[in-house]
Amino acid sequence: MPEKILVTGANGQLGKSLQDISRSCTDSCCFVFTDIGELDITHKGAVMDMLHAEKPDAVINAAAYTAVDRAESDEETAYLLNETAVANLAEAAVATGAFLVHVSTDYVFDGQSSVPYTPDHPVHPLSVYGKSKWAGEQAVRRSQAHAAIVRTEWLYSPYGNNFVKTMLRLADSRDSLRVVNDQTGSPTLAEDLARFILGIISRRQEIAGSETFHFSNRGATTWHGFASEILRLANKNCPLFPIPTKEYPTPAQRPNFSVFDLSKGASFLDMDIPDWKESLRKSMPQILYNYENSII
């Protein structure tokens, strides 16, 4: 019997990457893709009804309030999506026996570490978004659901709006670009994250209770370094200059160091995690195609 996996937020970057992968694994898995139109995860009754009706083996929560700067002035909605709705999913997962994969963020950390963050490093979120995502993690742990919390960072894909597409657009519309060079992290292709999550689901019997994993692509850079590689691969000749964060103020404070220790997830799945430059190179043709054809 193929595994049945229900995905929430299926029209986002992670959700669409899962949809892509689903087309080539019809033998082992069957997917139910939902976004807000099919399942608004803030509606507790609807979440419970959907899980009782579909009886999935696993649920991947790819829905979230991801507007980091807007969250500073819209705290209520950020917590509704990132905490209350996650609690709804966790409760329904417990009631129906489904394994829950909940996706979280590097923004639960303050960036003061000088070594890569392990999953058990103490958290200290700096922003409303980071605090609301931490509250969601805690809701999963409190529920005692059989679950994996997968933190990721610097996510991009051919879909939605993300840093890669923003750099392509700005390179085509400006004389030069100025990009922050004092925040370090690991760009992560949503497709690689999706494959990691499916791997975790396939080994869920080895997880007792809940576990927290870190997943990003391997290696680290700054936003400026990331932008430089994007422009090089896309053959854009726009001049690019490094700037400090203080010259690009944003409503939400971001951690200036977000590098993850990936060893727990890599050894759990016995996998080689792709380097960020390799994943960017591999995905660039599809990103460029979608960008040039205004496909989001």
List interacting residues with ligand NAP (CB under 6 A): 8-9, 11-15, 35-36, 40-42, 62-64, 66, 81, 103, 105, 133, 152-155, 160
Torsion of the alpha carbons at 60, 160, 212 and 48, rounded to the nearest 10: -30
Q: Are 72 and 29 in contact (CB under 8 A)?
A: no
Nearer of residues 132 and 181 to ligand NAP, judged by Cβ: 132
Q: Minimal distance in Å, beta carbon 77 to ligand NAP?
A: 9
Instruction: Give the pair of three-digit tokens for residue 196.
Output: 């990691």
Q: What is the rounded distance in angstroms from the CA atom of residue 92 to the CA atom of residue 56?
A: 11
Q: Minimal distance in Å, beta carbon 25 to ligand NAP?
A: 19
To which residue do tokens 């083996």 refer?
Answer: 57
Nearest to 198 by CA among 145, 138, 150, 157: 150
Catalytic residue, from 129, 156, 159, 291: name it.
129
Q: Minimal distance in Å, beta carbon 104 to ligand NAP?
A: 6
Instruction: Give the pair of three-digit tokens for residue 67.
Output: 């507007």
Q: Residues 6 or more apart from 16 whose CB is under 8 A from it?
A: 10, 157, 158, 159, 160, 190
Q: Minimal distance in Å, beta carbon 27 to ligand NAP?
A: 26
Phi/psi for 67 (5° steps) reads -80, 90
Nearer of residues 81 and 231 to ligand NAP, judged by Cβ: 81
How far, in Å, are 263, 265, 270 from residue 260 at the CA level?
A: 9, 11, 17
Q: What is the rounded distance in angstroms from the CA atom of residue 58 to the CA atom of residue 61?
A: 10
Q: Minimal distance in Å, beta carbon 278 to ligand NAP?
A: 19
Is 79 among the catalytic positions? no
- Name the closest residue to ligand NAP (Cβ): 12
CB-based contacts of 33-38 (< 8 A; 24+ apart in sequence):
33/7, 34/6, 34/7, 34/8, 34/10, 35/8, 35/9, 35/10, 35/11, 35/63, 36/9, 36/63
Q: What is the rounded distance in angstroms from the CA atom of residue 5 to the CA atom of residue 100?
A: 10
User: How many CB atoms are located within 10 Å of the residue 53 CB?
Assistant: 10
Nearest to 66 by CA among 54, 57, 74: 74
Q: Minimal distance in Å, beta carbon 237 to ligand NAP?
A: 27
Active site residues per annotation: 129
